[in-house]
Structure 1
């Protein structure tokens, strides 16, 4: 694609550039005194309220951003994703994490094939396996119930599931269903992390879930071998098939490792690692801890937002609005960082999850076609829960996106 066809060459982009000078003349306090503006900058969907009235923007800004989105053919690009087109051009793959939480009767095609039945085949397998483990129908090598789970993964195979697990620990229904069970996540290759994960656990009652699409990820396989040795030393090598399962597509290496391929749970090339929490990567360990019924509610919530994203007009579309505000703050106002400060302690792992999801997606210095861009394209995300967040780094009089009046 020639540079002349890039969005920053359009009149709409240049119009927003000129608009920056106008908006910077107005203090946020003045913007906040406009009642109609504030009301129009509150959008709700399915119990989620987005209040973006404290952004350095006015109604004209938002209109210009909508126009920019239309010039960028955003709606067409959303449809292309939902239609299973290969929008991941660098790897020549579709991007279909939306299929992971689609209702059973949905039709989402990839290369002419509806992938939803494959998704539900894996989900049904997870439901059956997790219920057998939780009920005691599936036991360890010595006949004891497996009540403790260690999930080994890295990056998206770790951060997303950990975030959801941490949030569910404060949900009354999830607390009750998890009673007497433990779920731990092992990602670091530091021996201290390994020691902490197995500390206080009995190999006889522990199930290890190894998460690696290719079963070759160096860090994950090092930790998997360490825990295989932990189990084998205590219970004998034959115990591995009862105490270790896999989330992988490489059944050959799964079997070679010592895990029964029947106890491998698949996911697909069209699942980006950072989006994989709704695949077996997250659903399996979370179902073992909380039961499939709780995790299914999470999947239904994700599907609800998917449909909202696909069908809602831009002015009511929460993901689109957040995306446009990100473009405004970074590419136009020049704010390089975004503080994520969830005041609910249940969301304490939200910031690291978003760091990977957002920054791995948007932290690029080139266009999708590899053309160098003359502006910033994504924030540096950082943060901690509530008052533990590093808000002291912000100037007290800064009217930036993290400013609170």
Structure 2
């Protein structure tokens, strides 16, 4: 049986799931409305990194063939232009704002929350009618006195980049497509989790993928890999995998603090095919080699009428290009003109899912999570920490203080900025570089 502490965790998870289901249903049926009693049509997810990347991937993946009950928008960057662009796509009276932060202290998210609160005040809307929080128990955002419409807990043992199957993804995705769709997505996640945990080594798909990745990086010395989904619906998969993989495995020491004998992790980038063929595939075929992972979908999400061009349907044309690219990378081609010669023998792999149902998208997401964790375990590193993000935050706090003093017109009481920082601060405040 489960240990007592695990029994409590399971109970807490079920409570959060039940609260998500009830909340999303009440919003859809108009039992929960905004300050002016209008039904919600849009929701803006305010968060950064793992607080939005995975959720955005799943939302975009599930949209083809489905009409969202509530449209989702993602406010991640502290750049005011990100905020301004979203304001052109929403109506203040019918918009929910979902603040996602485990600690509720993340600088960018808190800065954007300040903008959101000011926006609500300008439009005479109450925070307790339009703000939702997703945060850890005991965080500043978990204070019962906060004026919010609803608050959902994320658990402290779940890292942001692995949190899509928690309230972080559950609340937005249930609002967008209904809780039943989110539950189907969880079914796919659980299916891959069970496979990763139980399948024999020879049949374990994410373990095999992790071994291939280690071979490419440690033995063949490739320092980058591309993730190329041949599906526009999966356009946000590369940035999600980029964070999961690079933040989990970008380490130089093992779990005991000893230097690693070989590099861990690699640069991950990507774009959907066939678009990628017309941007960086020139380098993929004739420049420095790097592994390419293709993702194919057997059935498109859009079930509308298709017509043929050159005898094939659009989705078939997509697959013709996908298969051709794997062959071109592997086989290459000799030519009397060296500029037209392809060396071949360039590594690639192909991941195939049957369709864009919630279950299949859940399978795909959990495949990349399990693959990343397996690779971390085999390299004897911790795939769940990310201390590499901290130094920049520390340095930014000092620069922020100098900016605040200049904004307030108060003399600096600390160490004056170094010449380079002083140069850019002057340019920023003057709006020009002298």
Distance 1:298 1:108 in 2: 25
Distance 1:251 1:133 in 2: 26
1:232 maps to which residue?
121
Distance 2:142 2:166 in 1: 21
Whether 1:299 aligns to 2:216 is no
2:223 pairs with one of 304, 328, 336: 336
Distance 1:111 1:392, change over 3 A: farther
Distance 1:112 1:145, change over 3 A: closer
Distance 1:336 1:110, change over 3 A: farther
Which whole-Å deviations, capped at 9, do the CAs of 1:319-372 have from their partners, x for residues lacking one? 111111111111111111111111011110110000010111111111121111
The 5-angstrom pairing of residues 285-296 of structure 1 reads 285-296=172-183
Whether 1:166 aligns to 2:72 is no
User: Which 4+ stretches in 1 moved above 3 angstroms?
Assistant: 107-114, 255-262
> Which ranges of structure 2 fall in alignment gaps of 5 or more residues?
287-341, 351-434
Distance 2:256 2:142 in 1: 40
Contact 2:130–2:149 (8 Å) recurs in 1: no
2:11 pairs with one of 110, 117, 128: 117
Which whole-Å deviations, capped at 9, do the CAs of 1:354-391 have from their partners, x for residues lacking one? 00101111111111211111212212111100122222
Distance 1:125 1:339 in 2: 39
1:361 maps to which residue?
248
1:402 pairs with one of 312, 335, 348: 348
2:106 pairs with one of 217, 227, 234: 217
Contact 1:152–1:223 (8 Å) recurs in 2: yes
Q: Which moved more, 1:193-202 or 1:109-118?
A: 109-118
Please state how far the C-alpha of 1:253 moved relative to its aligned partner: 2.5
Distance 1:211 1:109 in 2: 30
Q: Which moved more, 1:366-375 or 1:312-321?
A: 366-375
Distance 1:362 1:356 in 2: 10
Q: Secondary structure at the match of 1:144?
A: coil
> Which ranges of structure 1 fall in alignment gaps of 5 or more residues?
1-106
The 5-angstrom pairing of residues 183-198 of structure 1 reads 183-198=72-87
Q: Root-mean-square deviation (CA), in Å?
A: 2.1
Please state how far the C-alpha of 1:256 moved relative to its aligned partner: 6.5
Distance 1:400 1:366 in 2: 30
How many residues in Structure 1 have an aligned counterpart in Structure 2? 291
Q: Secondary structure at the match of 1:330?
A: helix
**TM-score, normalising length: structure 1:** 0.68
Distance 1:257 1:219, change over 3 A: farther
